[in-house]
Chains A and B, each alone.
Chain A
Amino acid sequence: EAGVVQSPRYKIIEKKQPVAFWCNPISGHNTLYWYRQNLGQGPELLIRYENEEAVDDSQLPKDRFSAERLKGVDSTLKIQPAELGDSAVYLCASSRGDRELEKLFFGSGTQLSVL
């Protein structure tokens, strides 16, 4: 079974430029999460999808961040324009959505550096 696939692995951009991250979850996983992890910190949720519906995006900075999950499978997270403080690792995770058995599977993440 293939794991969660993210791309790109690394991204270096200048501030004010746009950037996009892509995630392909494990087949059959209805729930998809985007987390941001700063150095030395735990992951913090940006947005959670159940199928194609964004059910929790309260922590997503909507003035510059946007996300979509077309057809309830792949997802894209976009930042426009990027700021220096956006430098972090962006992690995608998926799960079956079994509530108490909500085991998360993470991708390798995208390390973003904004110069």
Chain B
Amino acid sequence: KQEVTQIPAALSVPEGENLVLNCSFTDSAIYNLQWFRQDPGKGLTSLLLIQSSQREQTSGRLNASLDKSSGRSTLYIAASQPGDSATYLCAVTGGSYIPTFGRGTSLIVHP
């Protein structure tokens, strides 16, 4: 059974810092990995999707990398802003085609 772990569980940083969120998974036979953002009381918004054959994806200040062999992904956020405050979740999709989620990293960026 796929298990997804996210570290750290919570993070508080001053505005402007570059930061890294980590996601690890136990079964490397995946089709893709997605990073989502969730604001309080809201649904999830897809940020980036990395296919199994890819190493990274970029969108604006976000960069996600994937090392399938080691079962790890990182989400890099450059020049963080207060508006980046949210919970960030990663999900991996494997042979069952069911995205399995981690518990998320709760991020606070203070001015």
Contacts and interface: CB of A to CB of B under 8 A. Distances in A.
A104 B99 contact: yes
Interface stretch (B13-21, B59-67, B76-84, B88-96): B88-96
B72 interface: no
A109 B43 contact: yes
Interface string A21-53: 000000000000101000011111100100000
B91 A106 contact: no
A56 B98 contact: yes
A41 B103 contact: yes
Contact of B46 (A35, A45, A100, A103): A103
Prevailing SS type, chain B contact patch? strand
Contacts of B36: 104, 106
Interface bracket on A: 20 to 34
Contact of B43 (A41, A42, A102, A106): A106
B97 A42 contact: no
Interface residues of B, number: 27
A101 B34 contact: no
A6 B42 CA distance: 11
A111 B103 contact: no
30 contacts: A4-B43, A33-B99, A42-B4, A42-B103, A43-B44, A43-B89, A45-B99, A48-B97, A48-B98, A56-B96, A56-B98, A91-B43, A93-B44, A99-B97, A100-B31, A100-B32, A100-B51, A102-B93, A102-B97, A103-B49, A104-B36, A104-B44, A104-B46, A104-B91, A106-B36, A106-B43, A106-B44, A107-B43, A108-B42, A108-B43
Give the 9 A-B CB pairs with smallest separation, nearest first: A42-B101, A106-B43, A106-B44, A108-B43, A100-B31, A42-B103, A100-B51, A109-B43, A43-B101
Given A56-B96, A106-B44, 8 more contacts: A4-B43, A42-B104, A43-B44, A100-B31, A101-B32, A103-B46, A104-B34, A109-B42
